[in-house]
């Protein structure tokens, strides 16, 4: 039976490589659509938890995996020799940056090489990881064709960027429109038909390069606009003007303006990283991306700005950072999730500790830290209570979790540095609250 027929009858086995924030919801979407699915991940602990029905991504809900894990049409494995079992393989692997802000495609390259070992005729391979234009064609295709099979004839290759936003309630994997660009017309058509059975809307574009570029534009757009309000925050603070009120006021215009809000820096896997994939590729073709790089400079300066404001806030209370007990509220990069990837809270903690601060954190979604690429804090979330607030010399609000009792924080913390505008609506005295 051809791949086309397998898709038509929903008998194609769909393999998801990388079972993280993108891959796990995607696997469930295809399983929910009626396909047999198989998940691949290098982390055996994830595979074990999946088979036990345990969800390790808490924002998805405790029962997200349980039903699927007991199904006859589901499997998960750390054995990449089984990649040939899948009729369609969707790659959801990390694409981080190197230490010089250059693209790190090692996960894509290693995974592509593993696929090439078991590649067979009529398989569809789709990359979902964010990357620079040309990756699918120039990096993946030669490795896969080294198997002796011909792209577009023996196997099919496409790009379909992930658009996950962890914690968002009004959209999910099945309802976020999906872009697809193929290496050749048939690949694009097959990938579109496959995704169309699991996702409500699929848009086919003319090439993989268009889809790759569109994903970068989405995140660069956000990065640039966040940089704009972050820069305005610093300028307006010097004029004693509330940036959050300014943004809300501007947002009353029904056209020509979209509200973006400042913060302590960028977090998540996309916005702090993706723009640099284009700046690197631009240099390769003899161009510079001054606008994008400037936005990156502004956003990356925000953790240092928060530290500076914390220093000034403590100074106004006759204290130095050195020896002060400081509580960071929120380790996750955005509200109400447990996602700590690229969170600016880590840099803020590290900088305050370097100045001699005694720093703890509270985050109800992140009970303990684990070793990351750039940080290994080895900390546990401390209790947030009236007594603990009184214990600390300064509280820094880095993440605006809904669960936080803002009035309690305002009433009992000695000094507060608010980088999220979280305490704008609290009542009572405010002379101990400082914006950052």
Query: Where in 335-418 does DSSP place strands (E)?
Result: 358-362, 394-397, 416-418
* SS3 call for 214: helix
What's the gap between Cα 330 and its chain centre? Answer: 16
Q: Compute the distance between CA of residue 282 and CA of residue 287 in angstroms, rounded to an integer.
A: 5
Classify residue 96 by its DSSP letter.
Answer: -
Task: Yes or no: say if 40 and 91 are a contact pair by the CB < 8 Å rule.
Answer: no
Closest CA to 154 of 186, 122, 182: 122
Q: CA 31, CA 43: separation in Å to the nearest integer?
A: 21
> Residues 198, 114, 107, 129: what is their CA dihedral angle, to the nearest 10 degrees?
-20
Q: Of residues 92, 151, 270, 394, which has the active-site annotation?
A: 270
Interhelix angle 208-238/290-300, rounded to 10 degrees, is 50
Burial-class residue 120 by CB neighbours within 10 Å (0-12, 13-18, 19+): middle
Q: What is the dihedral of CA 370, 372, 374, 375, to 10 degrees?
A: 0
Cα–Cα distance measured from residue 192 to residue 158, given in angstroms and rounded to the nearest whole number: 10
Neighbour order of strands in the sheet with 14-17: 74-77, 37-40, 14-17, 88-91, 124-127, 156-159, 178-182, 202-205
Give the closest residue to 191 by CA, choosing from 182, 199, 200: 182
Q: How far apart are the first and last CA of the chain?
A: 61
- Could you confirm whether 270 is annotated as catalytic? yes
Helices (H) and strands (E) in the chain, counts: 15, 13
Nearest residue to 398 (alpha-carbon basis) of 358, 340, 322: 340
Please give the Cα distance from 226 to 271 (Å, whole number). Answer: 10
Residues noted as catalytic: 270
């Amino acid at each position: 039976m051809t791949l086309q027929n397998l898709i038509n009858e929903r008998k194609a086995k769909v393999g998801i490589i990388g079972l993280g924030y993108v891959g796990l919801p995607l696997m469930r979407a295809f399983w929910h659509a009626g396909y047999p699915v198989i998940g691949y991940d290098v982390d055996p602990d994830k595979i074990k938890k999946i088979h036990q029905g345990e969800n390790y991504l808490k924002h998805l809900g405790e029962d997200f995996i349980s039903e699927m894990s007991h199904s006859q049409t589901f499997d998960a494995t750390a054995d990449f020799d089984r990649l040939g079992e899948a009729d369609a393989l969707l790659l959801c692997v990390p694409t981080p940056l190197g230490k010089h802000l250059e693209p790190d495609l090692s996960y894509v390259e290693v995974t592509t090489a593993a696929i090439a070992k078991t590649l067979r005729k009529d398989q569809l391979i789709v990359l979902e990881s964010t990357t620079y234009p040309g990756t699918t064609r120039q990096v993946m295709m030669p490795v896969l064709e080294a198997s002796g099979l011909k792209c577009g004839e023996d196997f099919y290759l496409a790009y379909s960027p992930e658009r996950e936003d962890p914690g968002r309630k009004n959209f999910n994997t099945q309802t976020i429109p999906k872009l697809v660009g193929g290496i050749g017309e048939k690949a694009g058509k097959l990938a579109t038909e496959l995704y169309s059975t699991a996702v409500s809307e699929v848009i086919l574009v003319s090439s993989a390069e268009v889809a790759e570029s569109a994903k970068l534009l989405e995140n660069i757009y956000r990065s640039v606009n966040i940089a704009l309000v972050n820069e305005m925050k610093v300028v307006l603070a010097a004029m004693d003007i509330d940036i959050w009120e300014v943004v809300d006021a501007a947002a009353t215009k029904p056209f020509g303006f979209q509200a973006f809000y400042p913060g302590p820096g960028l977090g998540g896997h996309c916005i702090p990283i993706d723009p640099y994939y284009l700046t690197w590729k631009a240099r390769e073709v003899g161009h510079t991306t001054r606008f994008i790089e400037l936005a990156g400079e502004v956003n990356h300066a925000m953790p240092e700005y928060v530290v500076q404001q914390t220093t000034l806030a403590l100074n106004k209370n006759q204290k130095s950072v050195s020896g002060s007990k400081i509580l960071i509220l929120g380790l996750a990069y955005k509200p109400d999730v447990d996602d700590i990837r690229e969170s600016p809270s880590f840099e803020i903690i590290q900088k305050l500790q370097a100045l001699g601060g005694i720093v703890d954190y509270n985050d109800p979604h992140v009970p303990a830290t684990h070793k990351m690429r750039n940080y290994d804090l080895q900390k546990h979330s401390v209790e947030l209570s009236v007594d603990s607030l009184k214990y600390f010399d300064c509280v820094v609000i880095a993440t605006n979790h809904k669960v936080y009792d803002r009035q309690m924080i305002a009433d009992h913390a000695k000094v507060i540095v608010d980088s999220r505008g979280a305490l704008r609506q609290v009542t009572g005295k405010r002379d101990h609250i400082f914006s950052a």
